Structure 1
């Protein structure tokens, strides 16, 4: 029976010109993940990563700690939605990422403020009235992720590796979990906001049907250094 680990990337560079790069903190998180894999994985896993830089960096840093010779299959079906466009369509000034970061830093409760912005932006994206304004609409993103998960499940059902690891993003993991739990869009993205950097969401494959075993495991980060735990 195959166990699938869906991994959110390490902390990226929020508010920078390019978000798609791990922060120094994110690099440390990825190494801790790899050290934990070295303890729990008894043989080399089948590995897939999205094509985004933060996915590839997380995969390479983690695997260097446990299975350095493992081949990484790159598949952009596991890429995140364009969150910067989703923010900018909700509030045009957020087309400049540093302005959003500036606003967040000026708030007494930065996380609560960003959560409010995130909720409003996601509601607009998923609401149905503005699908034509996005490069990738919510229905198309949801379909892409669900298809990627089913294609992976079908492949693993044939090859039957003991472990499969997918390096991806929070939105992707939320949609996959939401599919299995039959959640609506609002509840799906409530999960997204809670998924920690380099956390593990675990699926068990029964035949070619994935079942959710655990969500958002990040105890290995907290045990090593709680200051490294991040959600943004």
Structure 2
């Protein structure tokens, strides 16, 4: 069986004008997960990212200099667009400025998106799910035995939920648990695609590493 490791990008710049930039913490997280893969002797023979800057920069900070293949199906959902659609352009200040309120709104917005309770978003839930499946198929249609993918929390949550045959609500429950630069491992062969490990952080399993943990 071949392996596909999907790593969530390092912490991005939450609350800044451009979210799609790694924070200093995100860069340290990325270096740490790259180091632990090398320590484990896990050398990828295929590199894939989405098209987002924070995903590609995570791979670079991990110490992989070869240009990756890109597939937009590994990009995160556009939460700002979804909020704008849900609130008809009038997003409450509390949702924009308070971290806890933001993540409550994130969960509830995704659930309403799944249930088609609002219109106007650039992407429907079904389109999101379909492009992730297309990205998974792209990454696993290969002779490579070790595929390394850098993606985002919502995509990883959906990949895991689909592999487990879980209800669609589970995607968001998983999404909110996923740590920055955590490792989720799948095994695949032909049409078979199974979850082997979820949200692992061996690079944080010591006192100094624990200081690097973040969820957004």
Q: What is the TM-score when the length of structure 1 is the normalising length?
A: 0.85
Q: Which whole-Å CA distance do the structure 2 matches of 1:120 and 1:43 have between them?
A: 39
Which stretch shifts more, 200-209 or 45-54? 200-209
Q: Which whole-Å CA distance do the structure 1 matches of 2:19 and 2:91 have between them?
A: 13
Query: What displacement does 1:93 show?
Result: 4.4
Residue among 93, 100, 103 paired with 2:98: 103
Q: Which whole-Å CA distance do the structure 2 matches of 1:221 and 1:4 have between them?
A: 21
Question: Cα gap change, 1:124/1:46 in structure 2, threshold over 3 Å: closer, same or farther?
Answer: same
8 Å CA contact 1:3, 1:163 repeated in 2: yes
Could you list the per-position Cα deviations for residues 135-182 of structure 1 after superposition, in whole angstroms to 9, with x for gaps in the alignment?
A: 0111100111012112322x22xx1x2310000101111111111111
Question: Cα gap change, 1:186/1:219 in structure 2, threshold over 3 Å: closer, same or farther?
Answer: same
Matches within 5 A, 1:61-76: 61-62=61-62, 64=63, 67-68=64-65, 70-76=66-72
Matches within 5 A, 1:141-180: 141-153=128-140, 155-156=141-142, 159=143, 161-180=144-163
8 Å CA contact 1:90, 1:120 repeated in 2: no
Structure in which a larger fraction of residues adopt helix: 1
Could you list the per-position Cα deviations for residues 60-104 of structure 1 after superposition, in whole angstroms to 9, with x for gaps in the alignment?
A: 111x2xx44x341122121111011122333444488xx645223
Query: What displacement does 1:2 show?
Result: 1.3
Could you list the per-position Cα deviations for residues 176-217 of structure 1 after superposition, in whole angstroms to 9, with x for gaps in the alignment?
A: 111111122211110000000001110011334211001111
State the aligned residue count.
Answer: 214
Q: Which whole-Å CA distance do the structure 1 matches of 2:155 and 2:44 have between them?
A: 24
Q: Could you list the structure 1 runs, at least 4 aligned residues long, displaced by more than 6 angstroms after superposition.
A: none
Q: Which whole-Å CA distance do the structure 2 matches of 1:42 and 1:201 have between them?
A: 14
Matches within 5 A, 1:1-232: 1-62=1-62, 64=63, 67-68=64-65, 70-91=66-87, 92-94=89-91, 100-104=95-99, 110=100, 113-130=101-118, 132-153=119-140, 155-156=141-142, 159=143, 161-223=144-206, 224-232=208-216
Q: Which whole-Å CA distance do the structure 2 matches of 1:42 and 1:152 have between them?
A: 17
Query: What displacement does 1:42 show?
Result: 4.3
8 Å CA contact 1:89, 1:121 repeated in 2: no
Which stretches in structure 1 are left out of the alignment for 5+ residues? Answer: 105-109
Q: Which whole-Å CA distance do the structure 1 matches of 2:185 and 2:209 have between them?
A: 22
8 Å CA contact 1:11, 1:23 repeated in 2: yes
Q: What is the TM-score when the length of structure 2 is the normalising length?
A: 0.91
